[in-house]
Amino acid sequence: MEHKIRVLVAKPGLDGHDRGAKVLARAFMEAGMEVIYTGIRRTPEQIAEVARQEDVDVVALSCLSGAHNTLFPKVVDLLREKGMGDVLVVGGGVIPDEDVPFLKAHGIEEVFGPGTPLATSVEYIRTHVNREA
């Protein structure tokens, strides 16, 4: 059996807008990936711990409240602490372009803004996921 890509679609922060996260989860599923969805209002600690227990290859963070600069890097730090630095972390939501360099410098490898085609996100994950050695 081939290695199935496992993705954690996670919503850190307090906003309840999960339309994008759910649409993305469904697109990943239809692209043959296994998707674990956290539901809304999760803390970085919960997200990192679930990523560890579920042995995911990708953590896709979605936040529309504007708290991304605080929350996304926290998730990355916690993943590294747990020895999961090789997990691909991507982000999306209402994220101004000017915040993107900051997020990239803090381990969010790609940021998908509003209007990103689903196929683009799917393809990015397929080509950038770190296969375990």
Partner 1 sequence: MYEKETIGKLKAAKAVWQERVDRIQSGKSSKPYTDRASTSGIDVGLVYTPEDVADMDYMRDLGFPGEYPYTRGYQATMYRGRLWTMRQYAGFATVEESNKRYKYLLGQGQTGLSIAFDLPTQLGLDADHPLAEGEVGKVGVSVSSLADLEVLFDGIPLDQVSTSMTINAPAAVLLAMYIALARRRGISPDKLDGTIQNDILKEYSSRGTYIFPPAPSMRITNDIFAYCSKEVPNWNTISISGYHMREAGCTAVQEVAFTLADGIAYVDAAIKAGLDVDSFAARLSFFFNAHNNLLEEVAKFRAARRMWAHIMKERFHAQNPKSMMLRFHTQTAGCTLTSQQPDNNIVRVTLQALAAVLGGTQSLHTNSRDEALSLPTEDSVRIALRTQQIIGFESGVTDTVDPLAGSFYIEAMTNRIEEEAWKYITKIDELGGAVKAIENGFIQQEIQKASYQYQLEIESGKRIIVGVNRFQVDEKPARNLMHIDSALYEKRRGELAAMKAGRDGAKVQAALARLKQTAEGNANLMPGVIEAVDAYATLGEVCDVLRSVFGEYESDASF
Partner 2 sequence: MDVRAGVLAGDIRSVARGISWVENDDPRAAELIRGIYPSTGRAYIVGLTGSPGVGKSTLVSRMAALMATGKRKVGVLAVDPTSPFSGGAILGDRVRMFDVALSPNVYIRSMGTRGSLGGISRATRMASRVLDAAGFDWVLVETVGAGQSEVDVHDVAYTTVVVMAPGMGDEIQAMKAGIMEIGDVFVVNKADRDGADRTAAQVASIVQLSDEREWHPPVLKVSAELNQGIESIIEAIGQHKSFLEHSGKLAEAKASMARRDVLEILRARLSEDLQHELDQPVLQEKLDEVANRHSDPYTVVDTVFEQYWRKP
Contact flag: residue 72 with partner 2 (CB under 8 A): no
- Which range binds partner 1 by CB under 8 A, 53-61, 67-75, 76-84, 103-111? 67-75
* Alpha-carbon gap, residue 26 to 33, rounded angstroms: 9
Binding mask 19-58 for partner 1 (x = CB under 8 A): x--xx-xx----------x-xxx-x---------------
- Which range binds partner 2 by CB under 8 A, 38-46, 60-68, 93-101, 103-111? 38-46
Contact flag: residue 6 with partner 2 (CB under 8 A): yes
Distances (CA, A) of 58 to 6, 96, 108, 129: 6, 23, 11, 7
Ordered DSSP codes for 55-83: T-SEEEEEE-SS-HHHHHHHHHHHHHHTT
